[in-house]
Amino acid sequence: MAFLHVHRPILCLLWICSIISNVLTAPAVDVDQETTVEKKSQVNQRGPDSCAPTVIAHRGASGYAPEHTLGSYALAITMGADYVEPDLVMTKDGQLIARHDNELGMTTDVAKHPEFADRHRTQTIDGNEVTGWFTEDFTLAEIKTLRAIERIPAIRPGNARMDGAFQVLTFQEIIDLVKSLQTSQRRIIGIYPEIKHSTHFKNLELAMESLVVNTFRKNGYNSATSPVYIQSFEVNNLKELNKMTDLRLLQLYDEKLSQPFDQVTNGTDLTYGKMATPEGLAEVAKYANAVGPDKSYIIPRNADNRLGKTTTFVADAHAVGLKVHPYTFRAENSFLPKEYQSADPSEDALGDLKGEIRAYLDAGIDGLFSDQPNIAVSLRGPCSK
């Protein structure tokens, strides 16, 4: 076990390289508007909603490889994840790419590119002042000259050893990867994008909503039975999407006292806490199919960083027909409640993530976002077709 822990990054990188080699040589699943994904899912292939709980690979298998990379997504799929989750932002020339945020310095090697030094600047995003390099200042061709790096190297030093191994992906490249791996995996794999900073990009005339829907449509994802959820922390764009598409939608929840940024700009008093009441959830159910709360909405932690008493959030959401997919389940000590942390005090030591997940399964959740999707997959029983 000690060997696996110390050499896990090397083993993962070798595994990823093998996966990518197979993907690049395998024929892609041909899915178009006439031969839809949902029809293909009926042909002896298990769909991503056939298992309980539904496992969403958070930015791919980001506990094992740098997030939002070909390696991270491919690894998550081979680990059995039902959905992969790309965060989507926009380039200057209107292309959808997968990054956690539109600031590039945390997740790429842009700081090592002297040709882009003059694009370093400060701007306000969702009410917060941010300094760095921003996707909206780069064309896709320029983005493709960058290489991905680990976002939290202090906690995931093994992942940082893969810095520079992967490009920044477009949304279409992720869809292509998913289709290719469906062939070898013999199952339908879902795609679960988050639209990031919707209001910010709309103000730049780089709105993502129609582009996301149209990209899905041209790839055969057309209906409420398609293996897709589109998510956002904002509200108005989800309401807009509800009128635009039959694809399923998920409302994300941040801290209870904070507001969705579109509600700040609109001058309303709507907070995530108000959206979490029975009345608030009933309103969300008018435009969304599911909710993605921070885990604390379901089981808050007490002053000792231990899990407290389960709330009624799951029951209240289920009462109005909403699925509940909380975020984010991570195996490192720095993210776990105290009772599930490893005896090793270092923040990158791996604790008992299975124990934490079991507590939330007992609370009735339908699915979960995890950086280590294999651990969540290992807890569930047989999947139906």
120 vs 87: CA distance, rounded Å: 22
Could you give the 3-state DSSP secondary structure of residue 377? helix
100 is catalytic: yes
Assigned token pair, 201: 């990009």
Element (H, E) at 129: strand 128-132
- Identify the active-site residue in 5, 68, 100, 197: 100
325 vs 293: CA distance, rounded Å: 7
313 vs 309: CA distance, rounded Å: 12
Residue for token digits 């493709």?
Answer: 144
φ, ψ dihedrals at 330, nearest 5°: -135, 145
**Among 314, 286, 288, 295, which residue's Cα sits nearest to residue 253?**
295
6 vs 308: CA distance, rounded Å: 34
318 is catalytic: no
Assigned token pair, 218: 């041209």
Q: Is 341 left (phi over 0), alpha (psi -120 to 50) or beta?
A: beta
248 vs 236: CA distance, rounded Å: 15
- Identify the active-site residue in 5, 7, 58, 68: 58
User: Any idea which residues carry the catalytic annotation?
Assistant: 58, 100
